[in-house]
Amino acid sequence: MSVDVGRDAEHYLAVLLRVVPWVTLPIATVIAVAQPGQPGTDRAVTLGLAGLAAAWVYVAYTRASEERRRRTVPMLVYVLGLLVLCVALMVRDQVFLLFTITGFFHAFLLRPWQLGVAGVLATSVILNTFTMGVPQPTLPSLGTYLGVITIQTASIGLGVALAERTTEQHRRRKEMIARLEATLAENAGLHAQLLAQAREAGVVDERQRMAGEIHDTLAQGLTGIITQVQAAQRVWDSSDRAREHVDRALGLARESLAEARRSVQALRPHQLEEAHLPEALGDLVRRWARDDGVAVRFDVTGDPVPLGPAVEVALFRVAQEALHNVSRHAQAGRVGLALSYVTDEVLLDVRDDGRGMAVDGGHQGEGFGLRGMAERVRGVGGAMQIESAPGEGTAISVRVPAVPVAAP
């Protein structure tokens, strides 16, 4: 608000400084040349001096650039020339005191403010000397003359000092706002850069996740199949014992196939192609509860907003992996999943009442699944925390920035 007031005051002062000479000079000139009984030469001299004053104001001030008006020397030369012309015009006719008043206004152009006050003083001396005459060497005459000049200079000079202070404060505010805008623009660029780095890191993390997934599931499954087939070959003459090993190999093959399909599907969840995150999670929870027979409660708080694809995929995969871990390891009777939209973050909490596990500093040290979840969350600029203890269930809390779908 103060910035707007300062800008308006500076604008009005600039308009006033431009208008005053072009109002007072024509009026005074018309009155001076319209007086009867003047010789033609006197009118010509008056018009010539008025034209010279107009040209001086036009060239040295009106047409001057903003940068030139802020410089001390050019404006000091302009004001001195203006006062000399005012003296010459008032010698011709005192009616030009109207134009001399311009000196009071254009003293506001002088910097620092001490020069502006000196300009006001010089204008006051010229104006009062021509209107009151040279004072007599008496106390009343000198007192009146000096008193008028002093009061006039002090009152107008105070305005000059306050105007310079206000202009300086406004200039500093403009510089501060410009620096703040530059800082905000730099922060926006850094934020976009961080998001790009997060996406790149997400690609690397996804590759690492797939590598770990293959190592922990498919490779181990194939190793088990080979072991069972080799065992069946050794007891091939005993059909019952061989069938037992073949059945185990077949079971491992089916499990490995299921793991392979799950890993491939993890690249692009089809649920998010058809709905936003809350609906996709709701569908995931319903299907998981139906297949595993475990009671699940799913809650959404806050106002859901469409998020960037990377953020939604990360949260969906974390929930999917968390439920998968519950079905494989937790032996839980109840599961709770909550999705919360706050001002600039999205929170995902998955809790179960299963057998729990030992954690170190809030992070599971074993198991690629939990490590992959944490890496996926970090890939979108978030953080994951795990709270668990043997026999006390597990709570997984994820916090990610709410990056809108339209963000760069």
**Which domain-ending residue is among 102, 134, 166?**
134
Range of the domain at 397: 269-408
Number of independent structural domains in the chain? 2
12 assigned to some structural domain: yes
For the entire predicted model, the pTM comes to 0.43
Residue 82: closest CA among 134, 20, 150: 20
Confidence (pLDDT) at 198: 67
Confidence (pLDDT) at 33: 92
79 assigned to some structural domain: yes
The 10s digit of each residue's pLDDT in 86-95 is 999 999 999 9
Q: In this structure, what CATH number is given to the domain that contains residue 278?
A: 3.30.565.10
380 assigned to some structural domain: yes
**Which domain-ending residue is among 117, 134, 151?**
134
187 assigned to some structural domain: no
308 assigned to some structural domain: yes
Confidence (pLDDT) at 79: 94
Look over the chain and give the mean of its residue pLDDT values, rounded to a whole number. 83
Residue 2 has pLDDT above 50, yes or no: no
Confidence (pLDDT) at 93: 92
177 assigned to some structural domain: no
292 assigned to some structural domain: yes
**Which domain-ending residue is among 82, 110, 134?**
134
37 assigned to some structural domain: yes
Residue 58 has pLDDT above 90, yes or no: yes
